[in-house]
Copies of this chain bind each other. A is one copy, B any other.
Amino acid sequence: MIRAGLVGVTGYTGMELSRILASHPSMRLVAATSRQDAGKRLDSIYPFLQGLPGADVVLIEPDAAELARQCDVVFLAVPHGVAMETGAELYDAGVKVVDLSADFRLRDADVYEAWYKEHTRKDYLPKAVYGLPELYADEVREARLVANPGCYPTASILGLYAALKNGIIQPDDIVIDAKSGTTGAGRKAAVSSLYCEVADTFRPYNIAGKHRHTPEIEQECTVAAGAPVTVSFNPHLLPISRGILATIYTRLTSPLSQAEVQAMYEDFWKDKPWVRVLPAGRLPETRNVRGTLFCDIAVSVDQRTGRLIITSAIDNLCRGASGQAVANANLMFGLPVETGLNFAPLVP
A residues with CB within 8 A of B: 12, 15, 19-20, 22-23, 46-52, 175, 177, 179, 181-183, 187-191, 193-205, 207-209, 230, 232, 234, 236, 238-243, 245, 247, 249, 273, 276, 278, 282-291, 294, 296, 300-305, 307, 309, 311, 342-348
A284 / chain B contacts, CB cutoff of 8 Å: 203-204
Residues of B within 8 A of A199 (CB): 182, 195, 198-200, 239-241, 348
Q: A49-B344, A238-B239 known; 14 other A-B pairs, CB under 8 Å?
A: A12-B348, A19-B346, A47-B288, A48-B289, A175-B249, A179-B202, A182-B199, A198-B199, A199-B199, A199-B239, A201-B243, A207-B309, A232-B307, A238-B238
Query: Given the complex, which residues of B lie within 8 Å of A273, measured CB to CB?
Result: 51
Residues from chain B with a CB closer than 8 A to the CB of A181 are 196
Please name all residues of chain B whose beta carbon is closer than 8 Å to the beta carbon of A300 when the two chains form the complex.
Answer: 207-208
Instruction: Check B202 against A245 for contact (C-beta < 8 Å).
Output: yes
Residue of B nearest to A19 (CB): B344
- Chain B nearest Cβ from A4, distance in angstroms: 15
In angstroms, how far is the closest chain B Cβ from the Cβ of A253?
Answer: 16
Q: Which of A196, A289, A303 is most buried by chain B, counting CB atoms within 10 A of its CB?
A: A196
Q: In the complex, are the beta carbons of B239 and A207 less than 8 A apart? A: no
5 closest A-B pairs by CB:
A201-B287, A208-B300, A203-B285, A195-B198, A208-B302
- Are the CB atoms of B348 and A241 closer together than 8 Å? yes
Taking a contact as CB atoms closer than 8 A, the residue among B177, B194, B347 that contacts A46 in the complex is B347
Point out the residues of chain B lying under 8 angstroms from A19, CB to CB: 344-347
Q: Which residue of B lies closest to A347 (CB)?
A: B48
A23 touches B238 (CB 8 A): no
6 contacts between A and B (CB under 8 A): A47-B285, A51-B276, A179-B236, A203-B285, A204-B247, A208-B301
The listed residue with most B CB atoms (<10 A of its CB), out of A241, A285, A343, is A241
Whether A245 and B204, one on each chain, are in contact in the complex, defined by CB atoms closer than 8 angstroms, is yes
A182 interface neighbour in B51, B189, B196, Cβ under 8 Å: B196
A304 near B230 with CB under 8 A, answer yes
Q: Which chain B residues border A23 with CB–CB below 8 Å?
A: 342-344
With a cutoff of 8 Å between Cβ atoms, the chain B residues found around residue A311 in the complex are 204, 207
Contact between chains at A232 and B203 (CB < 8 Å): no
Give bound CA distance, A290 to B309, whole Å: 31
Closest chain B residue to A22, Cβ basis: B344
Cα separation A347 to B183 with both chains bound (whole Å):
11
| CA distance in complex: A346, B302 (Å) | 37
The CA of A232 and the CA of B175, in the complex, are separated in Å by: 13
Chain B residues in 8 Å Cβ range of A191: 187-189
Q: Which residues of B contact A294 (CB under 8 A)?
A: 51
A51–B275 alpha-carbon span in the complex (Å): 10
Contacts of A301 in B (CB 8 A): 208
